[in-house]
Amino acid sequence: MREFGYQRVFDVPDALAFGADPEARYLGGGTNLVDLMKTGVDRPALLVDVRELPLDRIEATDSGGLRIGATVTNSDLAAHPEVRRRYPALAQAVLAGASGQLRNMATVGGNLLQRTRCGYFTDSSQPCNKRIPGSGCPAIKGEHRNHAILGASEHCVAVHPSDMSVALAAFDAVVHYETADGPGELPLAEFYLPVGDTPHLETALPSGALITGITLPPAPVAADSRYRKVRERASYAFAIGSVAAALDVRDGAVREVRLAFGAVASRPWRAREAERVLTGGPATPHAFADAADTELAAAEVLPHNRYKVALVRNLVVAMLTELAEEAAR
């Protein structure tokens, strides 16, 4: 870890002034910055500590959604009664991530900016196109059991590790940010960039931008939502496949459905094809399976990650079936 400056800031303009330095990083909980600094993956010259910015509130919006400040901790997000009531899958997703200690430290803004846990990315002695553009992707011919099946490229097959973002993707979250030139916003669907040949460029945030919060639009369907995560131990592990699902069924037909997948792509994967196929159709396990197959038809598997296709498909069918059965009760 190189030597670095440290600046604690108390308002957004100050944060932006310090954050304009291209070698600066905003420090939230530090749970995915300090570790990368220790391993030499990231080497900032200045840390701008944003934890004390007045961005730590969760408020209802006039339209019936929620506005979540960027420095809200994962713990406070998951414990908030309105999050649990209106978007239970979001609370579940956050609770499925990391550990109690890390959730107390980690912030919503930082969670969105988590880096991949690909073992080649985190080992600075290995080539990695995300870390050193042009150095190659050893995962493709090497260890890729937990790598992407959707939206990857020949340059990078890493997956995004966030659970929270998967639920946010399902609920059409919008990311708000500030820059020296004024505020901006990005729908989550546009927040993460496609991998293409630039895997080192991960988000559409302008340089120096500070995430200030997220808004969740009202989504009555989200009240009947859940998140399931499969991993290689029962807790305190990253997903090998996860699904956020919400379902509104009336008279056996799907009125509205939301589906997003985790640990299958470089970003949370909103399953819009599956949603399109299902909407208006019968709420049956067969239909759910067909919809999952439609979405996963685009999957490109490597020798050791093809199981993810079956895993995600099975999760979709199981979760939607359960939601449909509960709705019928």
State in angstroms the smallest separation of the CB of 282 from other proteins: 21
- Residue whose C-alpha is closest to residue 83's, from 105, 100, 108: 108
Helix (H, G, I), strand (E, B) or coil at 37: helix
Binding mask 98-117 for other proteins (x = CB under 8 A): xxxxx-xx-----------x
Round to whole Å and give the CA distance between 261 and 189: 13
Residues 6+ apart with CB under 8 A from 95: 78, 103
Based on CB atoms, which residue is closest to other proteins, 204 or 289?
289
Counting contacts by CB under 8 A, is residue 1 touching other proteins? Answer: yes
Counting contacts by CB under 8 A, is residue 31 touching other proteins? Answer: yes
Counting contacts by CB under 8 A, is residue 132 touching other proteins? Answer: no
Based on CB atoms, which residue is closest to other proteins, 154 or 232?
232
Torsion sign, CA atoms 92, 199, 193, 213 = positive
Dihedrals φ, ψ of 103, to 5°? -70, -30
On whether the CB atoms of residues 14 and 53 are closer than 8 A, the answer is no
Counting contacts by CB under 8 A, is residue 134 touching other proteins? Answer: no
Of residues 295 through 324, those in contact with other proteins by CB under 8 A are 304-307, 310-311, 314-315, 317-318
- Residue whose C-alpha is closest to residue 299's, from 248, 241, 245, 251: 241
Structure tokens, 257: 């459905």
Counting contacts by CB under 8 A, is residue 138 touching other proteins? Answer: yes
Task: Tokens 């969740």: give the residue.
Answer: 216
Count of CA atoms in the C-beta half-sphere (13 A) of 220: 4
Counting contacts by CB under 8 A, is residue 272 touching other proteins? Answer: no
State in angstroms the smallest separation of the CB of 106 from other proteins: 9
Binding mask 224-263 for other proteins (x = CB under 8 A): ----x-xxxxxxxxx-xx----------------------
Question: How many CB atoms lie under 10 A from the CB of residue 67?
Answer: 17
Question: How many CB atoms lie under 10 A from the CB of residue 59?
Answer: 12
Based on CB atoms, which residue is closest to other proteins, 193 or 318?
318
Based on CB atoms, which residue is closest to other proteins, 57 or 141?
141
State in angstroms the smallest separation of the CB of 219 from other proteins: 15
Counting contacts by CB under 8 A, is residue 4 touching other proteins? Answer: yes
- Residue whose C-alpha is closest to residue 222's, from 316, 84, 326: 84
Name the amino acid, one letter, at 63: S
On whether the CB atoms of residues 224 and 326 are closer than 8 A, the answer is yes
State in angstroms the smallest separation of the CB of 194 from other proteins: 25
State in angstroms the smallest separation of the CB of 46 from other proteins: 5
Query: 172: alpha, beta or left, given left = phi > 0 and alpha = psi -120 to 50?
Result: left
Question: How many CB atoms lie under 10 A from the CB of residue 6?
Answer: 9
Counting contacts by CB under 8 A, is residue 54 touching other proteins? Answer: no
State in angstroms the smallest separation of the CB of 87 from other proteins: 10
State in angstroms the smallest separation of the CB of 137 from other proteins: 11
Based on CB atoms, which residue is closest to other proteins, 250 or 304?
304
Based on CB atoms, which residue is closest to other proteins, 60 or 201?
60
Round to whole Å and give the CA distance between 6 and 33: 14
**Which range binds other proteins by CB under 8 A, 28-36, 62-70, 203-211, 213-221?**
28-36
Of residues 166 through 225, those in contact with other proteins by CB under 8 A are none
Based on CB atoms, which residue is closest to other proteins, 43 or 250?
43
